[in-house]
Amino acid sequence: MHGAGEWDAIEIATSLAGFEVALVEVKQLSNGRENPVALEENPIPPTERVAALSKIEAANPGIDMQFWELQLGSGDE
């Protein structure tokens, strides 16, 4: 059991290799941003965010990128 209400699974990677690419990108962007204070002091540059999302999408064709976009912030920094 997972709790009350419905749970709709979404595909965030097409394969284990694609998931690995996504995790590597997230890890690289997290360097120097390991907590909310550090992230606020060192926001992800929009160009780095776009590049990471592009790599994730290329490794996982056809997935809805909303999950990864939310994980990497709005890009409005």
Alpha helices in the chain (DSSP H): 16-30, 36-41, 46-59, 66-71
pTM of the model: 0.84
Residues 43, 47, 53: CA angle, nearest 5 degrees? 95
Determine the Cα–Cα distance for residues 65 and 22; give it in Å rounded to an integer. Answer: 11
Going by pLDDT thresholds of 50, 70 and 90, the confidence category of residue 3 is low
Q: What is the pLDDT of residues 8-34, one digit of tens each?
A: 888 999 999 999 999 999 999 999 999
Residues 34, 76, 74: CA angle, nearest 5 degrees? 65
